[in-house]
Amino acid sequence: MRHLLECLGSVELETLVAKVFEAAGCFVPAYRGGCIQDVDLFAHNYRAVDIELDGLVVPAGERISIQVKGTSRLNACPDGVGCLIALDAPQSPRCFGENWLFTRAAYFPEVAEWLKLSLSWLPQNFVERCMSKATI
């Protein structure tokens, strides 16, 4: 899984995270951060119920800020950020790693298809083998 996700560039990794949140029911206004330090994405929950993604909750009527990193080298989620999603996320509250991201991406068929197409330059048997290892 890790090797597959490492084949994504930083913009593709942020896009993957945004697509996961959108598939779960959030509104993500942009797939790329820019002007706010440590924040790459916002996920808005305009629903009347919480959106729960395997331990990560976006409360009803609220939004969370997200930092996305391939390699974080952090010990915890940065202050002022709702959560950190990184391939090497530390064991810390509000931090979600490669297994969380890969499992969530594989759970939503449209996101899994996007991931496969984004990595279509890799040997197809490698992509299929990695995708089949997702445990949901």
Q: Where are the domains of the chain?
A: 2-132
Pick the most confident of 9-13, 20-24, 100-104, 105-109: 20-24
Name the DSSP class of 33: -
Taking every pair of C-alpha atoms in the chain, what is the biggest distance, in angstroms?
43
The residues, ordered by sequence, that sit 6+ positions from 59 with a Cβ below 8 Å of its Cβ are 45, 50
Here the tokens at position 55 are 């331990």
Model confidence pLDDT, tens digit, residues 38-76:
889 999 999 999 999 999 999 999 999 999 998 878 888
Unique residue bearing structure tokens 């995270």: 17
Q: What is the pLDDT of residue 135?
A: 55
- Distance between CA atoms of residues 79 and 77, nearest Å: 6
Of 50-59, 88-97, 127-136, give the range with the top mean pLDDT: 50-59
Q: What is the pLDDT of residue 105?
A: 94
pLDDT band at 134 (very low <50, low <70, confident <90, very high): low
What six digits make up the tokens of 103?
A: 């499992």
- In angstroms, the CA 95 to CA 66 distance is 10
Rounded (10°) angle between helices 10-24 and 109-118: 170
Report the predicted TM-score, pTM, of the whole model to 2 decimal places.
0.91
Higher pLDDT among residues 107 and 130, named by residue: 107
Q: Report which of 36, 103, 90 is spatially closest to residue 63, judged by C-alpha positions.
A: 36
Please write the tens of the pLDDT for every residue from 9-39: 999 999 999 999 999 999 999 887 767 778 8
pLDDT, mean over the chain: 89
Where residue 131 falls (left for φ over 0; alpha for ψ -120 to 50; beta otherwise) is alpha
